[in-house]
Structure 1
């Protein structure tokens, strides 16, 4: 009997593991590549004579395009599967990098690194990959599986930066961007692996769900979904501000040269453990409670870092703690949406949440520069990130995570 059971469950286990691995590789490539864009600001300015503000705008624009394109990419993956969406996104991402590599003007750079890369990222990251993982994983293991994919995806942030730096220094901007474009083309076929859930021997059938329009209307009236979406704005705001402005802030504090880059690398390294841990916690405790505590820990860490004297040791500790809470919100947020609404339209529903995150990201990066230009200090933004985190925590604790009823189920006629 036990032998029969092991034979029945082994295919599902193997398929789940394969999907997790493919998802981690796709995320690792896409997220890792976009983390290297800061390395091109100086070279584009010095070698091609482009204004720094224009280069920074192109990089910031891809975040906004990513956010607005994410619901559509998620909806397409829900309807047609991940394979065509990932293939289209990887190809578009590669085209954007290739266009940036040969861009003779700022307009072409904005189209390549801003518009095309933004669309490509939306098709090859969280809103497409995590729903595919969520559909194949069992409900009790869903949060853990999403955490594993997010943790594996963080490896790209650690690996891509030294790769790009080495190629750029030895062969120039264009070659390094073409290498990144080639990496994106290599992952294009992996979307087919994300759709392998259909071949599992004992598939899990969810209850029938309503059409997308009806589910979106239900979500728009769901207080918990609205609170979750508002809270996700804070995540993007905090992370984009820190990732964009921490190095400059540390230089203003007379910290050693290179400590800012070290801090960002440490954040990426500890994010691997943090994403896995948040996924594990989300499988054992109520996910909105874990999110609430995560935002509280973030706010306390940011506040302490801002108020206490700056030393290399304090910067390292800050980077480590922030890394542990960095992208752990993603598997928790997507897992909570899946718990409440199911996985059939998870890409669409998570995509709308993620739009809020990306609007916060755009504002965090842009307002940081604007406030500094106006006041000569980042103090106001550090204080804003603390307050935003406290507000986000208070929004998450009262969320109702009860699975919603499915109108389509009641409307279906009984089987003959």
Structure 2
């Protein structure tokens, strides 16, 4: 077994610069829902076109994430993150100048989807896993997830301000310039003495994949993560137009400030939720916390649909959902690290994340597809409730014990 090298980054460096990377990458993408109506109305597209772009973005993000993760685990995350920053900026610029639906989908779906594989949680968590002690790992993952939440809280009002002041095209170009800041951030996360084969001996990528895919707990985590993606992306992309549609009967709810405030509140309370899940995940069984989060989401959505719409009820819903929003991330990735170790953590986190992004694709696309055909989001809300109950149940049997491996001959 190779000796474990001394971490090349301090925990403070990982949390600050990894948090900044996630703040930029996640913060920008969380505001895409605000561009739904301005972009589709300006180009004469149906909501399905924009929804398909975001759905494709999430699908590509999920499908390619295990590959990007394997490359980062093998060669280090530095070059991967630089490429991600470049693609993110190019994708936003492409969205800004596209007047053709296909070009818009390539820029917003393909390029940004690829960029997110290299700049979001899985890659940052791989760096974190290699440089943070195991007894602080889930807590640190919660801090990094909270940084992404802060990005949402920060960027939602900023993106709405850019939209109001400059219009969708110039706003997207400005966001492209902001995304380019990920490139210097990547330099601050460079692991100078990165060594691939450490901690877990000679296990190969193929062996690690076979071990994970055949593990029942990994399978259950993967099923639950599908639900997480479905719920959060459906709400992120379609909450603003849903509230706008309600304005015919409830005028106060349809004001742009209500949607902007609601999305910002999700980001604000997500800071507390992700930090809390990381803190509690070091002290209590993570599977029970995950089950409670999914069940809580189902109750929150049900109450939101049953209570007469108003700005206050919308803000309360946003606050509750925000607390539960990305709190699954440190818990899910913490269980993966606990079971399989950190050698292939980026790749295995990417693999379970693929299920999350399949759910994201379904949530984003079905929202637009079913609305264009039924004139309502009700069916998708009901699906989100049922899936929340399902995810609550499938996480209960997860076993958090580390795998015991026999040494290679």
Structure 2 CA distance for aligned equivalents of residues 276 and 220 of structure 1: 29
1:257 aligns with 2:254: yes
The answer (yes or no) to whether the contact 1:147–1:279 under 8 Å persists in 2 is yes
Name the residue aligned to 1:110: 105
Task: Quote the Cα distance in structure 2 between the aligned partners of 1:377 and 1:100.
Answer: 27
Which residue of 33, 41, 52 corresponds with 1:38?
33
Counterparts in 2 of 1:242 and 1:377: CA distance versus 1, 3 Å: same
Following TM superposition, by how much is the alpha carbon of 1:352 offset from its aligned partner in structure 2, in angstroms? 1.0
Corresponding residue for residue 221 of structure 1? 214
Kept after mapping to 2: 8 A contact 1:66/1:119: yes
Tell me how far apart the structure 1 counterparts of residues 146 and 26 of structure 2 sit (CA, whole Å). 12
Deviation at 1:228, TM superposition (A): 0.3
Is residue 139–residue 279 contact of structure 2 (8 Å, CA) maintained in 1? yes
Post-superposition Cα deviations, 1:116-173, rounded to whole Å, max 9, x if no partner, equal 1110011100111122112211111101101001101222212223333333444444
- Structure 1: gaps (5+ residues): 1-10, 200-204
CA–CA separation in structure 2 for the residues paired with 1:281 and 1:71 = 28
RMSD: 2.5
Q: Is the 8 A contact 2:60 2:114 kept in 1?
A: yes
1:235 to 225, 228, 231: 228
Report the counterpart of residue 356 of structure 1 in structure 2. 355
Between 297-306 and 210-219, the greater mean CA deviation after superposition: 297-306
1:311-356, CA deviations, whole angstroms, 9 ceiling, x for partnerless residues?
4332222111110010011111111100000011011111111110
Identify the residue that residue 151 of structure 1 maps to in structure 2. Answer: 146
CA distance in 1, matches of 2:38, 2:241: 18
8 Å contact 1:143–1:279 — kept in the other structure? yes
Q: How many residues align?
A: 397
- The Cα offsets for residues 359-395 of structure 1, whole Å up to 9 and x where unpaired, read as 1111112223333344444333222222211111111
Contact 2:36–2:237 under 8 Å retained in 1: no
| Structure-2 residue corresponding to 1:126 | 121
Contact 1:100 1:109 (C-alpha < 8 Å) held by counterparts: yes
With CA pairs under 8 Å and 6+ residues apart, which has the higher RCO, 1 or 2? 2
Deviation at 1:48, TM superposition (A): 4.7
Structure 2 residue runs without a partner (length 5+): 1-5
1:134·1:335 contact (CA, 8 Å) conserved in 2? no
Q: Pick closer, same or farther for the CA change 1:238–1:168 going to 2, 3 Å.
A: closer
Matches of 1:320 and 1:52 in 2, distance apart?
26
Answer whether contact 1:208 1:406 (CA < 8 A) is retained.
Answer: no
Counterpart Cα distance in 1 of 2:91 and 2:46: 19
- Partners of 1:25 and 1:164 lie apart in 2 by 18
Q: Which residue of 2 aligns with 1:365?
A: 364
